[in-house]
Each structure stands twice: as structure tokens, then as C-alpha cells.
Structure 1
């Protein structure tokens, strides 16, 4: 939990405690609360208990160790291609794919503003790649971070008006940031495909 930026830790702690109490309902995802994977987890499993994990390996381990019933993991995006890390981890995970979920991606720029003073945008490399033309047009330098909502929490922690985050719009309210721009992906069809990973398959 210490890997998460300070503003995210109390939320992570509450969600982790709830998931630990009912592991059969827990759905592991990579990223801080408010990340696209969190959104996908709540859409795909409305009765589930999302369990935040700092990286993909942690999410997979949560399922393998029985702390979560399944994990929901992004594997490819319509704009930026495959999510490289998971293609290395999936074959050796010992888990099986039991479902998939398609999530339309809506990126927002958030910070403590103002927008014309933003010089850097932090986010997951996939998000930065999906908004690279927009960022370049506005003279904003992309800065890689492990996940989108985690970047929002880090921006809140830094409290630097020149540094913003690219994250789902709801992350702004979670971490006390201002929405500076919305729907800034380089194409409207921006969609990510997620797969559900579990210890065993379901009968057909």
C-alpha cells in the first residue's frame, strides 16, 4: 500500500479491508481507485468488491493466493495497441481467461490549474499514447506513471500547478483536483478490452 501516493492510501485501505472480508466477491485490478480498471471492475462485476493492486503482478497474485476471486486486466486498446506488460505475465500466471469486457475510454486533464499553466501531464504510458497529439498541440510534456488514477493522486500530493494528470474524470473528485479538460483522446472510438482472469474455468 505504501507504493500508492498518500492521497490514495486511505481509499485503498478501505477497499482492501472490504475485499479481505469477502474474498469470494473480490475483483483485483491494477491501479489506484478511480483508474479505468476500477471502472471496468465495477461495470463487469456490479456486486463485486474491487481490490486495488499497485501493478499487474500484484493483481494476478491476489487471485493466485485466494485474496480475490478474479482479476480484470486490460490487454489491448483500439488506439495504442496491446498492453505490453500483461502479455509477458499472462502465459506464466497459471490463471485462465473466463470473460472479457470492453470499456470506452474518456480521458480528462486534471490538476490544481490553471490549464494554460500546465507544463507536464502524468499518466500511464497507454493513456499518454492515446492523447499524444492533444498533449503536443498544447505544449504539454508527457510523464510516465504506473496508472492513471495513481497519477491523479500523485498530482494532488505534489500540489504543483504546472503538473496535471490524465485520468478518468471521476478521479478528480476522489483526489480533490479540478477538471481542466475532458474527452481529450485522439479519437472518439478509444476503447480498451479487458479480460477476466480466474484460478479455474467455468463450465460451458
Structure 2
């Protein structure tokens, strides 16, 4: 499927893209406590929402390099983490995984490995060994492909402050199994205070 082009009114589209991503963050990630560390940076307004209007993997990687440099140079109290949202490229999950490979290489080339890391979210996210429709995949399903840039120091502090951080993955999968497909759809359809 060919990538779509950015719409003529890019600012309006970016606002819609960011609004959908904020809804997903507040309903799924924070609302279901899929990431117990997300609420603090959300409440403190320390999340940067960046929209890549690139239509191919090369453009996404150019935007990623810019955002990695921005985050590395920003004060953690102002910007602790960045969500690079990709509405016009990487719709295919395999292509997205290819992009992650190059993204990790970029981290090394920029000498940011150990300082920053990249987490992955995608509308068609599928864990290895799972079926496409398995509800557990929804722990990492987002409205658009997202490259989540995180500071290693922030992760270490959050893990130190959270008992049993290693069990988050299993708890998330159990939460989604209890919710089920219909429950997920109903949960995500509800509005939040930030919508």
C-alpha cells in the first residue's frame, strides 16, 4: 500500500493526530495503568508530541534523528520523553520493524545508546508467537505508528520507585485478557477530560 501524502492543511491534521494520540495515552496507557510511569510525565506536561509528516522510512528516520537530538539537548524538567507520531508512513508492521532496526543503529551512531532508548507502538502491533487478533497485542497498539523516545535515567528512577517493575508486562496482558476485545473497544470509545 503506498504511503499517503500529508494533507494540505498540515497543522490541522497534526492537531487531530496529536488529539487521537493523547486520547490513547490517557485512556489506554494511563487509564488502564499499562505504564505506571506515564501519568507523572503527563500531569507535569513533560511529554513532547511530535508529528512526522514523512511518507517513507527515510523521511521518518530524518525526523527521528532530529527528535533524538532535541530530547538529548532538552532539560528533562521541560521534556522528559517524546512521542514521534507517524501518520503517513510505516503502516505495514514489518516495515515498521525494519525502521526500528535502523532507529537502534541511529542511537549508536549518535552515541546516545545508554542515554536514550526507543519503545515501539503500532496499530497492528503483534508480539512474537502471538496471533494478529490476540488481545494481548493491544498493550502496544496505538492509533498511529509511534516511536517513543525515553531517557534511560528517567526509566531507572521510575523502576527504582516502582515495586515489581518486571511484572508490568504480565499484569498488562492479564488486564487486556480480562477486558477482552469488546471491552477494549468500549473503553477506548469513552471520552476523557482531555478530549
- What is the TM-score normalised by the length of structure 1? 0.33
- What is the TM-score normalised by the length of structure 2? 0.34
Q: Greater relative contact order (Cα 8 A, min sep 6): structure 1 or 2? A: 1
Q: Which has the higher helix share?
A: 2
Q: Which has the higher strand share?
A: 1
